[in-house]
Every structure is written in C-alpha cells, then in structure tokens.
Structure 1
Amino acid sequence: MCLLRVYIYEYRYVCISFFLYSKLGEYQREHEDAAADMSAYVSNPINAYLLTKRLTTDWRQVENLMAHDVGVEFLNNITNYRHILKFPSDEDLNGAAVALMRLQDTYKLDTSSVARGMLNGIQYSTAMSSDDCFELGRQSYVNHDYYHTVLWMSEAMTRLQEEPQNQTQTFTRADILEYLAFSTYKQGNVERALTMTNELLELTPDHERARGNKVFYEKEIAELQAERKVKGDDGSESTPVSDLPIAKGDPSDYTFSERKAYEMLCRGELKLTPADLRPLRCRYVNNNVPFLRLAPLKLEEAFLDPYIVIYYDVMHDKEIELVKKLARPRFRRATVQNAVTGELETANYRISKSAWIRTEEHKIIENIVQRTEDMTGLDMSVAEELQVVNYGIGGHYEPHFDFARRDEIRAFQGLNTGNRIATVLFYMSDVEQGGATVFTNLRIALSPKKGSAAFWYNLHRSGEGDFRTRHAACPVLTGSKWVSNKWIHERQQEFRRPCGLEPDHGEFAI
C-alpha cells in the first residue's frame, strides 16, 4: 500500500511538473514576442486578452498546482507581492473579452481568423488554444451574450479536436456541449439544442441538468410541431436549467439603423458620393488673425452643412508628448453625465481613460489654447479645461451629442457658461486600424492623423442644438488612440458668432 502511494505521488508530481514546464515554455515564447516591441504587443487586442487571461484564470491554475509542494516558497513570495505587481482582476478579464467581441462585431471579424491571430487579414499574434477560445465563450455566457458564446465554444470544440490529448486540460468536450446546447436554445434553435444535449448525455449519462433539459426540449419541439407555443419566462420551472453565472448588460441607447450606420462607417463601407465631395475645398486660412498671416493654417472641409473642418499640423510632437506626460498620472475611467441627475457616471457605451489639464499649468498648454482660439475665432475663457483621452484596445464612444438637450436641465449647471457651442478635437496619434470619428447622420468618417484637429459647431446660431452633429468614436482595432478636446461654451460668444436672420446664416465665414 505504501509503495502504491509513492507511485501515485510520483505520477502526480510528473504530471504537475510537465504542465508547469509546458506553461513555462508558453510564457517564455510570449515574453520574447512582447519584449521585441512592448507597445505594439499590448496594442493588439488578441495579445491583450491572452495576457489578461494568463494572469487571471491561467495563473490560478498554476497556483493550485504549485501548491502541491512543487513551488510553495516561490508561490508565497509571489502572493506577497501581488498588490505591488498589480495583477489584473476577473473584471479586467471580462473587459478584455468584451472588447474583443465588440471589435469582432464592429469590423465583422471571422472567428476562426481571430483565433489564428489574424485581424483583417493581417497576422498579429500567435494562434489561440482551445482553452483560450473556451474562456472567451465562457465570458460571453457570463455576459448573457449567447451569440458569441456559440461562436467561441464552437471554435473551442474545433481546436480541442485538433490538439493533442492533454491530461491537464481544464475542460472537456462535455463542458463545451453544455454551454453550446443551452446557448443555442436561447438563440431559438431547440432542435439543435436537443441534438447537442443528446451528445452530452452520451458522454456523461448521469448529467442531471442535461437529462432535465432533454425532457424540456423534447416537450417544446412536440408543442411547436403541434403549432402551440410554450409560455413562460426564463425563471419558470419548465425552462432548461443552467447554474452558470449570468450578468445582464446595459441596453443599447440607439436604434438598429443608427448602429448599422455606425458600424458601416467604422468599416469604411459608407462614404460620401463624388457629388457630395465636389464642393469641398482645402486651403490656407488666417481667420483675420495677425500671427496667422505669417503662418496660415491648413484647412480641409469635411462637410459644408453643418460645417465641419479639419486643421492639419496644429499640434506638434513636443506638445503632444507634454500633454501625454501631464495626463498619464491623472487618468481615470471616462464618465458621462446622467441626463436626469446631472451626476457624472461610467457607462458601457464609453470605454476610455481621461484626464483634465488646466490652461495655466504650462506655457505649452497656453499655446494650444491660444491656437484653438485662433482656429475657431471663439473666446476660450468660457471653454472647459483641456480633456485628454486615451482609447486602448476596443476603446470607443458610441453615438452621442456634445451639447445638452432641452430636457437635460442639470447639464453644466456649475459652470454658468451656457451650452457647448463648439468642439475642437485634437488627434495626438495615428491609429493602425480603427478609431475613426464618425457622424452617423452625415455618413462621414474622420480618420485620426497625428497633429490634426477637427472643429465643428454643436449649436445653430439660434442657440438650438444641431442634432446632425451626433457622432461616435469607433473602436480601436489595433494600436492606441490619443486625443484631446476643448469644449467651448456659448456665453461671451455673442459678438464672435452673432445670431443671424437664418439658423446658421453666414456660417461659411469662418
């Protein structure tokens, strides 16, 4: 008996050592790839997800194995320094998975291609394993996202069948079938859900939930065939059972048609016609500013009504680096203003980090603000502080207005400077893929170009909001997007942009 125990212990020790050795090789390969170009590595959404997974679910698995006397001392040292190392959390892992799903939907990325490390036909990283795909499917399930659960669990199944047998695998074919069957049912395909449940029962005949679900599916199919409908909510006793965690996401706040236009603009599938482009011009302007007579600005018209222009070479590299340096220590999750309470809060439709910089903090910031006044002809004393925003992997801002609507009576209540009359958006980086600013009503997209700035009025000359300026920031597919913006308010602009006989009379005299 003692000899048998020794053999069992040695076998377990060999299995654990083999697993840890394979993990070590995997981490070393990824470390070499990352060390070659760290910023490029983490700006890849696949790498960002995989790195987060390695330090959450994968690391817990390593911890559990090392706890069997393989590396207890080392493990204790790592545990003591976790707060210093700032390991990502499960929430971070879910965020990385959601970001990848968002990119997949917006840019119509093929699941198998993403799993191979390809984005829009470009190879960015190594291929995912079946375990990586399984975790993406599980995170989608947790978010009540059955569509992506089916996509990624199916990919996990394909890769599991192609990979060599691994005794340390954390999931089985039966686990995948359980997720697939229930998610397929939630998508409305009861027949397919029953087929998968039967496959699951062939593998694990004593699976209690699967047996209960099988009865339900068969009953519902029979009723459908008899042209009767099953009545009952997800919580009723007749509904298939799943004890896996689910969290309901926030509902979308814009229509399907606008979402479709938003995503098509992000992909570059909607563009202005030649007839729309014909009247647009590029030119040098001085805006009647004495200094600009010596150094005129480069202006490109992006749209005429409402008037949207792009200025080029209006923020220099030295200025950009200073703005980034000042902003980084202050970065916080970007917020939006609640239309009812007026309070600032985070929202899933705006994913980015932001910071605010006062004009008087540095001479370069003063120069940027003065240049903004020269570009717009508006008084900067009633403008908000310079807001700096960084959109990382999957970072986006869904369609919104910069101005406050009539029913938002608490908006800007502490400023006493009126509504936001105009927006100036500085682009402080190029973006390899994605990250465009799109106007969903106008069907135009502005691609980030380092050093340029977009300018538009949010209000008509009458002071009414111009709803045509509804815009969005497309998700960043690869790279990192840095912008800064000045929101200019309407008080003290009476003589700089006076009311006219028509809503926007004289708008082109900029």
Structure 2
Amino acid sequence: EEGNSLYEHDPYGSVKQASEQLTADQLDSYKLQFQSLAFSRIYERITGRQYVALYGRKHAPKSFMWPADYFGQQFTVTTKETHMLDIPPDHILPKVSGYGATQAQREALNPYRDPGSLTLNITVLSVAPRVFEIRNFLSPSEAHHILELAAGMKLSRSTTEASGGSGAISTEPATTRTSSGSWIARSRSPIIDSIIRRSADLLKIDEAMLRYRHKDESELAPDDNGPICERLQLVHYAKGQKYTPHHDFTFPDTSDGQASRFATVLFYLNEGMGGGETGFPRWMNSESGKTLKVVPEVGKAVLFYNQLPDGNYDDLSQHEALPVTRGEKWLTNLWVWDPHG
C-alpha cells in the first residue's frame, strides 16, 4: 500500500484464541499491540506521520533537541574543550577512570591545545529528519590520534551494542553491513575524554551523563549511575564496502522504560575517498527525490536525531553508508540514549 510502512498480522485471529495459547504476561503484550495500532491510526490522522514506537511511552525525550526550521539554518555552540593542535607524548596520555579524566590529566593537555574557547558552527542539512553538519568538530591531530588508536586494534566485522554502554553486542547480516570496526571507550585517553566532553556541549547534555557519576552527581540520574552513551564505535570501510539503509533507534521491550537511542553523532576521520557518503534516502524536500548525501571531510561531525520531540521514533532518520568506490573510509559513531524514554 502506497505511503504505508506499517502492516499488521494477527497470528491468533482473536483474543479468545490467543488466551488459550499465551501466558498472562504474553496476553497483556498481545493486547497492548492492538492499543498501539489503534493509537497509531489516530496519530497518523493528526500528524501525517506513522507511529513507529510502541504505544505506552510515558515521556517525550527530556534531552535538548536543536530545532531545524529551514535548510541552511545555523547555530553556534561555544565550548572550553578546544582543539588539540598536537598530540602529547604517551606518558601524558594514560587511560583515565570511568568517572572521567582528572583535573591533573586535563591540565596536562593544555600546552598541546588551542587556548581559550572553541566555537562550533552547526548547519541544518535536513529538516525532516533533523540532520546537522558541524565542520572542524575534530582537529586533524585528534582525528589522527583516533586513527593511531585504530592501528593498535584488531578490527572485526562491524557490530552494534544493544544498549547504552551495556557491552551487549548484536550483529547484522553480512549483506547489510560489510565494514569492519572496534570500540573505543571514553577512558582510553584524555583526548577521547575531551572529545566526549565537546560532544556533550554540542548536544547540550551535562558531560557527567556520558560517564559514570560520583555520589554528589546522583541527582542527574537518580536511578542509574551509568553513561547514557555507548562507547565510540570505530568503523573502517574498504573499497566496495557499505552499510545499507537502516535506523539507529531500537524497538523497546514492553517491560522496560522504553529507553532508546536518541541522537547519533558521526565523526569523519579521513577524506578524499570515492563514494563513502552518508546518505539519507527519505529526507523530505520539495526539489528532489534524490538521497541527501553528506561527503566525508576530516574532522566533520554529523548530528541527527532518531526520535521526534513527541517521543515517536523518526522513521525518516533512515540512513546508509554508500559504497566506497576508491580508497578507504574511517569514522566513529557516538550513540546517545535518552534515559527517560
């Protein structure tokens, strides 16, 4: 059916038939699906969008969301996490605690970084979905530092962590994603810690939410002490490799708080390859039906939201890594969850 991406099939045929085969908890979930379908019809009639989440989400995202009112709209963010102009020697780059770099570790970076503050320029590339480009988010030295870390890692076929920072892993079929990758924790080096802090400023999220928190920080998230982001995913695409169109949001279980990936930030580590663009095939515009393509540039970041302000998942946030036709492509992903569902 044209314009419809949500179809339903009842394997039981009726509540009576289902009640004879399901446990009480399973039957409750079965009935919830009907409530969700009924709600989705009302939601589509009012908003023109299909309700992709499961009915019963109690909260819209609590985290800040940048508006996107028109193409080319611009915003700025000022951060104290300035660019690294050079990479310090190894003895200044020890692993840091899961609670973040100490003041001494951070101050040891000062002779190697740009003094003062850094202004990040944010440009709207797409309104629906909300996609933003931030050039020079990383300095060339920072991109090189991540690539140096990659040189000491064993890359395997790319995987996806199942939940924020949990370490659980899921894998996609080889025909869907053909890249290789690994994971980089914030604690890997003070420079990675600084990049995560800068990302928090971009997202207007307290940086403490992207690490483990001390007792005096418990008011930020009283029910959970863990980070709301996953480790940085380091990804490598060789010639011919790709990632077909997919979503970053996860479909929640009915028994949990329905937390999900709220925002994705991509960081490009190299440029000059053939192909390899990040594509948004379903973006809405009045001039073209072609895919929105973001060309990799060293240090460029791309931010997009996987949820809408009302809490629904943004079906239009579907994206892809187009095949590399020449050379190779390196990037990292930062996935941030909204803990409030």
Equivalent position SS for 2:298: coil
Please give the TM-score of this superposition, normalised by the length of structure 2: 0.55
- Residue 438 and residue 307 in structure 1: after superposition, are their counterparts in 2 closer, same or farther (change >3 A)? same
Unaligned runs of at least 5 residues, structure 2: 1-68, 83-115, 163-167, 211-226, 284-290
Structure with bigger helix share is: 1
Aligned equivalents of 2:271 and 2:192: distance in 1?
A: 21
Counterpart amino acid of residue 334 in structure 2: K
User: Does the 8 Å CA contact 2:161/2:230 hold for their aligned counterparts?
Assistant: no
Aligned equivalents of 1:431 and 1:349: distance in 2?
A: 24
Please give the TM-score of this superposition, normalised by the length of structure 1: 0.38
Residues matched between the structures, number: 208
Equivalent position SS for 1:330: coil
Equivalent position SS for 1:327: helix
Q: CA deviation at 1:281?
A: 2.5
> Of residues 272, 292, 301 in structure 2, which corresponds to 1:431?
272
Q: In structure 2, what is the equivalent of residue 457 of structure 1?
A: 305
1:475 correspondence with 2:305: no
CA deviations on 1:313-337 (whole Å, 9 max, x unpaired) are 1111221122112223231111358
Structure with bigger strand share is: 2
> Of residues 152, 176, 192 in structure 2, which corresponds to 1:349?
176
The percentage of aligned residue pairs carrying the same residue is 27
Q: In structure 1, what is the equivalent of residue 52 of structure 2?
A: none
Equivalent position SS for 1:388: strand
- Residue 394 and residue 363 in structure 1: after superposition, are their counterparts in 2 closer, same or farther (change >3 A)? same
User: Does the 8 Å CA contact 2:185/2:231 hold for their aligned counterparts?
Assistant: yes
User: Does the 8 Å CA contact 1:382/1:417 hold for their aligned counterparts?
Assistant: no
Q: In structure 2, what is the equivalent of residue 333 of structure 1?
A: 157
Aligned equivalents of 1:423 and 1:452: distance in 2?
A: 14
- Residue 284 and residue 457 in structure 1: after superposition, are their counterparts in 2 closer, same or farther (change >3 A)? closer
User: Does the 8 Å CA contact 2:77/2:121 hold for their aligned counterparts?
Assistant: no
User: Which runs of at least 4 in structure 1 moved beyond 6 Å after TM superposition?
Assistant: 290-293
User: Does the 8 Å CA contact 1:434/1:477 hold for their aligned counterparts?
Assistant: yes
1:301 correspondence with 2:162: no
Aligned equivalents of 1:434 and 1:309: distance in 2?
A: 20
Q: In structure 1, what is the equivalent of residue 76 of structure 2?
A: 285
Where does 1:154-169 land on structure 2 (aligned, <5 Å)? none
Aligned equivalents of 1:483 and 1:335: distance in 2?
A: 14
- Residue 342 and residue 482 in structure 1: after superposition, are their counterparts in 2 closer, same or farther (change >3 A)? closer
> Of residues 104, 117, 136 in structure 2, which corresponds to 1:313?
136
Q: In structure 2, what is the equivalent of residue 260 of structure 1?
A: none
What is the aligned-residue RMSD (CA, Å)? 3.0
Aligned equivalents of 2:179 and 2:323: distance in 1?
A: 10
- Residue 331 and residue 428 in structure 1: after superposition, are their counterparts in 2 closer, same or farther (change >3 A)? same
Aligned equivalents of 1:436 and 1:467: distance in 2?
A: 20
User: Does the 8 Å CA contact 2:81/2:198 hold for their aligned counterparts?
Assistant: no
Counterpart amino acid of residue 175 in structure 2: N
Q: In structure 2, what is the equivalent of residue 491 of structure 1?
A: 339
> Of residues 228, 241, 246 in structure 2, which corresponds to 1:382?
228
CA deviations on 1:423-467 (whole Å, 9 max, x unpaired) are 000011113310011111113111111110000110112322110
Unaligned runs of at least 5 residues, structure 1: 1-277, 495-510
Q: Which has the larger radius of gyration?
A: 1
